[in-house]
Structure 1
Amino acid sequence: MSGLALAASLLVSACASTSESASSASPASPMSPAATVSSPATAEAVPEIRPGVLAGYLGRELPDSLKLLPAPPKEGSAAFRQDQAVSRASQKLRGTARDSQATSDADLSFPHVADAFSCALGVPVSQDQSPRLYQLLRRTLTDAGLSTYAAKDHYKRTRPFVFYKEGTCAPNDEAALRNDGSYPSGHTSIGWIWALVLTQVAPDRADALLARGRSFGESRLVCNAHWQSDILAGRTIASGTYAKLQSNTTFQADVAAASQEVQSLRASGKTPSVNCSAEAAALAIPIEGVL
């Protein structure tokens, strides 16, 4: 399978689980009249590149991750030994609340993942209540995920669970992940670009959003799916993708519309539907050695 095709399939961690969201979240459906918060402007219909996966904003204008990143650490190097130390430390957290959070973060399917940043944002995120924000997250997921594949396909780095002959927090994804390069981390790129985009939507929540973006990527350590250097590289690619988005007028219009939705949700007193106290407690558990 080509890198682009594999990327599209992995952008949603379990494609079968997207059938419900794909049927209820067609490109035009975010503008459904049933939405409880009116969208400030009408969004154009967005095509799907796979069932449940919307086309991104950048198309062929994605950053080249192979040009942006150095080669991953070589086995036996000091940098690789650091990766190994963090990997082994992170596996001590399996079975804890941090592991449960990492398992949740591994699932990129919508509507599940829409709420991943709702505690940090302070409002719920859903297709009904914030359709433009929901669509913004879906489209930037595609851009951030696909931006990692030039380097992924070139380096074809072995993932830690394969290296150590272990498992991950998402057993159903392991067959695909074995043949998908570890460097850089696509999940991290997605989580970090969401953090950056959401700080543009709600600047007053920047600290909480950026902290959540960091923890979202670090969940891949606990899941045994990535090395720490994969995580750091994923943030770099997300930052490059975010920079490219700043000159995209459609993206900017969607950010403005999403910001109005967040303000409306705040004014109406809406609060996240997830257990934010439990999330905070889980994310407060440190991962030894993380830079």
Structure 2
Amino acid sequence: MPLLVAGCSLSERRPDPRSLSAPSPPQGFVTAGQIDAIAGAHRPAPGPTSADLAADRGTWEREGQTPGTDRWYLAIRHVELRPAFAPQHFDCALGTRLGAAETPAVIDLFTRLGRDVEAVWQKLRAARPRPIDIGTDRTACIRLPEGDSGHGWSPSGGAALATVWAEAVADLAPDRAEQTRRIGREIGLSLSICGLAWPQDVAAGERLGQAVWQAARTDPAYRALAEAARAELVTARTDPLENPACAAERLALRS
């Protein structure tokens, strides 16, 4: 998935010839017609504009979000957006620990929703410099990979992923919907804190994620997989052990 994952693009990886005969990965839930309709209703933002620069500077200078703070280190963790690991961002909101071995249906749900976001995002994305690319004195919160393309995308694919996943988790655990949706928003903010996306592109990505979610949730295949994932969450939440990173997250997100 060539969306933002630890600041790099997976689309640049060479295929492993050993995997050429492997089964095709599972598809998403959104139909081709829905993909076209969503892509047609959303547009990449122009810029960066003076408003982008001002909003970014506000993010960069806001107390508690500067390099070396607790929120900065949480942003570093949030940049990990691979579906196999992203569910762990919601551990603290749910009061449990999610993992591939214990919650395979949750991982599958994240993977397939990610493919829906990817399909729409590929149709409408536009390259634009990131805050760290244009001499804003910004420092990326992660080590960028060798051969980094030097630009980001509008809308933010990472924010779209965070939003669609947060909505899915809120659907699975409605008693924790407010908390999980907050984490989705905080992941988008983390991309801005890291200098990897303009606030305007994060907001556009969140709108895109909402649109993908509304389309995906109508698919019977989604409902069937969601039921399996919900059962996994019920079991997982009976375990009193929490993710050891939760104390740091609470500290970073305290008001």
CA distance in 1, matches of 2:144, 2:49: 31
CA distance in 2, matches of 1:246, 1:158: 33
Match of residue 73, structure 2, among 100, 110, 115: 100
- Residue 280 (structure 1) aligns with: 250
Match of residue 114, structure 1, among 87, 97, 100: 87
Aligned-pair CA distance for 1:266? 2.6
Is residue 2:144 matched to residue 1:161? no
The amino acid of 1:205's aligned partner reads R
User: Structure 1's 210 and 177: CA in aligned 2 closer, same or farther, altered over 3 A?
Assistant: farther
Is contact 2:39–2:123 with CA below 8 Å preserved after alignment?
Answer: yes
Aligned-pair CA distance for 1:164? 2.2
The amino acid of 1:234's aligned partner reads G
How many residues matched? Answer: 243
Aligned-pair CA distance for 1:219? 0.2
- Residue 21 (structure 1) aligns with: none
Match of residue 126, structure 1, among 70, 94, 99: 99
SS in 2 for 1:94: coil
TM-score by length of 2: 0.82
Is contact 2:105–2:225 with CA below 8 Å preserved after alignment?
Answer: yes
Is contact 2:38–2:212 with CA below 8 Å preserved after alignment?
Answer: no
Aligned-pair CA distance for 1:278? 1.1
- Residue 182 (structure 2) aligns with: 211
SS in 1 for 2:166: helix
Is contact 1:115–1:274 with CA below 8 Å preserved after alignment?
Answer: no
CA distance in 2, matches of 1:195, 1:120: 10
Is contact 2:152–2:196 with CA below 8 Å preserved after alignment?
Answer: no
SS in 1 for 2:141: coil
Aligned-pair CA distance for 1:70? 5.0
User: Which runs of 5 or more residues in structure 2 are unaligned?
Assistant: 11-18
SS in 2 for 1:164: coil
User: Structure 1's 276 and 62: CA in aligned 2 closer, same or farther, altered over 3 A?
Assistant: same
CA distance in 2, matches of 1:75, 1:180: 11
Aligned-pair CA distance for 1:194? 1.0
- Residue 23 (structure 1) aligns with: none
User: Which runs of 5 or more residues in structure 1 are unaligned?
Assistant: 1-7, 17-25, 27-44, 49-53, 286-291
SS in 1 for 2:125: helix
The amino acid of 2:143's aligned partner reads P
Aligned-pair CA distance for 1:143? 2.0
SS in 2 for 1:115: helix
| Percent of pairs with identical residues | 24
- Residue 115 (structure 2) aligns with: 142
CA distance in 1, matches of 2:191, 2:211: 21
The amino acid of 1:152's aligned partner reads R
CA distance in 2, matches of 1:272, 1:15: 31
Aligned-pair CA distance for 1:90? 5.3
The amino acid of 1:185's aligned partner reads S
CA distance in 2, matches of 1:82, 1:175: 29
* Higher mean displacement: 129-138 or 276-285: 276-285
Is residue 2:62 matched to residue 1:85? no
Aligned-pair CA distance for 1:233? 0.5
SS in 2 for 1:273: coil
Aligned-pair CA distance for 1:191? 0.8
Aligned-pair CA distance for 1:283? 2.3
